[in-house]
Amino acid sequence: MSSLQKRSWVEQVMGLPISVLARGPVASTTAADIAVQAVYRELREVDGTFSTYRPDSEVSRLARGELGWEEASSVVREVADRCRRARELTGGLFDAETPAGGWDPSGLVKGWAAERASRLLAEVDGADWCLNAGGDVVVICPSGEPFTVGIQDPADSGAVVATVRSSGNAVATSGTAARGAHLYDPRSGGAVVGSWASVSVTGPSLEWADVLATAAFVADDEWPRVVSLLPGYAGLGVHVDGTVRAMPTWPSVTPRDAG
């Protein structure tokens, strides 16, 4: 499929670059562009609802007590339910309840929103798609020809430590490379400072890959156990010393893999 048309788009949404790549005979058509613009509109709407940085978002209004849960929109209540399920699955390693007593669903929203918006791309016949939301990737390949997704080196933003050839699975990464020690351990309430610089997870759902990557990073050396909480998911960790460890089910090979 390398000779087929390709087109890419990128916009800043949710405070990060979100890129879309179309590949196939309709990649440069108006239909493809319309679908992509619909994706960006939906993601901007999600950001307007869930951003913790925007004072007018529902999440911010809930935090200030200006909005009660009984008044929250159905989509906010749906995400709250998803966050509760994620907390139960991970034994509290993923928790939208913050140490200060607030509610921050950011660890789930990005993957959930990107996966939900990608359905708009799937409606366009004759194209394969790769949507990358700041390193969280959804792939749609009706042709069966996989995309190659790179796993960024936490120590070098211009390098990759591994690749995944995907014709349908999602990929999510959690770590400190982009935003420093921004993740907290719900068990202690403190910042996560562990032995691993990043944990990447691949599997059928970006929402759950994102949740598992976050919880696995919090779990530190126990991250493979956390990734295994759901069938069909595999993980790869990059140690702070640069060593790469892939689970046996990880669908790629990297020369730095230490097993």
CA distance 40 to 20: 10
Q: Which domain holds residue 71?
A: 6-246
What's the mean pLDDT when you consider all of the chain? 91
Question: Is the whole model's pTM more than 0.75, yes or no?
Answer: yes
Phi and psi at 232, nearest 5°, equal 90, 5
Q: Assess if residue 256 is contained within a domain.
A: no
Please say whether the dihedral angle defined by the alpha carbons of residues 116, 117, 122 and 123, taken in this order, is positive or negative: positive
Which of 234, 225, 139, 236 shows the shortest CA–CA distance to 197?
236
Residue 1: the pLDDT is: 44
Q: Assess if residue 186 is contained within a domain.
A: yes
What CATH number has the domain bearing residue 34?
A: 3.10.520.10
| Residue whose structure tokens are 């089910």 | 249
Helix, strand or coil, per DSSP, at residue 176: coil
Q: Note whether 256 and 243 are within 8 A (CB).
A: yes
| CA distance between the termini of the chain | 33
CA distance 124 to 205: 20
Model confidence at 175, pLDDT cuts 50, 70, 90, reads confident
Q: Assess if residue 69 is contained within a domain.
A: yes
Amino acid 61 reads R
Report the domain count for the chain. Answer: 1
Given the DSSP bridges, would you call strands 196-203 and 234-239 parallel, antiparallel or unpaired?
A: antiparallel
| Residue whose structure tokens are 């000779």 | 3
> Would the pLDDT of 85 be above 60?
yes
Q: Assess if residue 255 is contained within a domain.
A: no
More confident residue, 254 or 37: 37
> Would the pLDDT of 181 be above 80?
no
CA distance 259 to 254: 10
Q: Assess if residue 254 is contained within a domain.
A: no
Q: Which two tokens stand for residue 168?
A: 């349908």
Model confidence at 259, pLDDT cuts 50, 70, 90, reads very low
| Residue whose structure tokens are 């979100």 | 18
Q: Note whether 10 and 19 are within 8 A (CB).
A: yes
Question: Running DSSP on this structure, what letter comes out for residue 192?
Answer: P
Residue 196: the pLDDT is: 94
Phi and psi at 65, nearest 5°, equal 80, 10
Q: Assess if residue 1 is contained within a domain.
A: no
Helix, strand or coil, per DSSP, at residue 215: helix
Q: Assess if residue 205 is contained within a domain.
A: yes
pLDDT digits (tens, 9 = 90+) for 131-153: 999 999 999 999 999 999 999 99
Helices (H) and strands (E) in the chain, counts: 6, 10
pLDDT digits (tens, 9 = 90+) for 7-53: 999 999 999 999 999 999 999 999 999 999 999 999 999 999 999 99
Q: Assess if residue 252 is contained within a domain.
A: no
CA distance 125 to 164: 24
